[in-house]
Amino acid sequence: MDPGPQVATRAAALGSLRRRPERLPGEARRIGYLYVAPAFILYAAFNLLPLFQGINISFYNWDGITPGTWVGLDNYTEFFTDPTILAGYTHVLILMIFYAFLPIVIGLFLAALISRIRIRGLTVFRILLFLPLVITDVVTAVAWTWVYDINGPISTALRAIGLGRLVPAQGWLGDFNTALPAVGVFGLWGGFGFCLILFLAGVMKIPASLYEAARVDGANAIREFFAVTLPGLRYELQVVLVLSVIGTLDTFDEIYVMTGGGPGTATSVPAYLVWRRLFQTGQVGSAAALGIVLMLIIFAVTWAINRAMERGNEA
């Protein structure tokens, strides 16, 4: 007869350490590795191994079929010599204004406003704002390509109010000056709801007593914002900043769908350059190097943001 279960129950009831030394809760146990193993194996196979392969490939000139030739760091020094790569990074920096900076500013402003005013039907409002994020961005990008058509709703509306001369001759996505901002506005439309939702949630967490105290001290709306609201949203701000900056740096979908990097190279971005070199022009080593550099830049930027925000938290 197996006495096991009864013994264990009694031991637990007695709270004694009779059978084997029980560990303190929270201390690491070797069996933990077993639990992690399945997920880790998948992660290693589909993320780590390709990452190391990519690092390896980036030191070669490889067309994808025939044996590659070793070129050392040549694919990396391209970063300084190939103007299209630098142009790609310049474009994402510009996109960051639309994908990160503006959504945060607008989100903060609206969150501060809403925190002071009771708005009816806030839930409906939230759903509408969040909707763009729920629909795949490929689908919305296709729809916006029509929106930006030279005879689409924006152009037609401008002509209707007599501002037809603002419509660029080659269409919003075909004009060298408006193509990138046009993609940016698409990103702003999609991303700003996310910021606002997060900030609204954050604002709800701020105790009303802080606001009352500020008012008692004679703070006006603006002082209140900087003294109470903004510090209270620090964590949400950090999250939004990191996510939106990373999201901008590896933008691909909307460029592929809406402009194909064009007109010319006016909207090319690093992720799109990686795709073209990998699949279209057979420059696999260069594509790998571009990807690795992009990854390192994302690491660096994320680390910098987190450092800056955490230092602020301690203050």
**If DSSP codes are grouped into helix, strand and coil, which group holds residue 69?**
strand
Closest CA to 240 of 58, 68, 102, 82: 102
Please list the residues that pair with 60 across neighbouring strands. 70
Q: Is residue 28 at the binding interface for other proteins, with CB under 8 A as the rule? A: yes
What x/- string results for residues 154 through 173 when contact with other proteins is judged by CB under 8 A?
A: ---------------xxxxx
Does residue 102 interact with other proteins by CB under 8 A? no
Per rule CB under 8 A, is residue 153 in the interface with other proteins?
no
Distance between CA atoms of 37 and 58, rounded to whole angstroms? 29
Q: Which residues contact 39 (CB under 8 A, 6 or more apart)?
A: none
| Cβ proximity to other proteins, 241 vs 271, nearer residue | 271
Does residue number 186 form part of the binding site for other proteins (CB under 8 A)? no
The answer to whether residues 171 and 149 touch, using CB atoms and an 8 Å cutoff, is yes
Nearer to other proteins, 192 or 275 (CB): 275
State which of positions 54-73 bind other proteins (CB under 8 A).
55-57, 60, 62-68, 70
Cα dist. 275→65, 124, 278, 279, 282 in Å? 17, 39, 5, 6, 10
In the complex, least distance from residue 269 CB atom to other proteins, rounded to whole angstroms: 14
Which of 132, 181, 231, 262 touches other proteins by CB under 8 A?
Answer: 262
To other proteins, the closest distance from the beta carbon of 218 in angstroms equals: 48
Pick one of 33, 35, 130, 303: the residue that binds other proteins (CB under 8 A): 33
Binds other proteins by CB under 8 A, chosen from 35, 46, 52, 109: 52
Q: For residue 164, give Cα distances in angstroms to 150, 152, 161.
A: 11, 12, 8
Question: How far apart are the C-alpha atoms of 77 and 290, rounded to whole Å?
Answer: 10
Contact residues: other proteins, CB under 8 A: 26-28, 30, 33, 44, 48-49, 52-53, 55-57, 60, 62-68, 70, 148-150, 169-176, 179, 260, 262-265, 276, 279-285
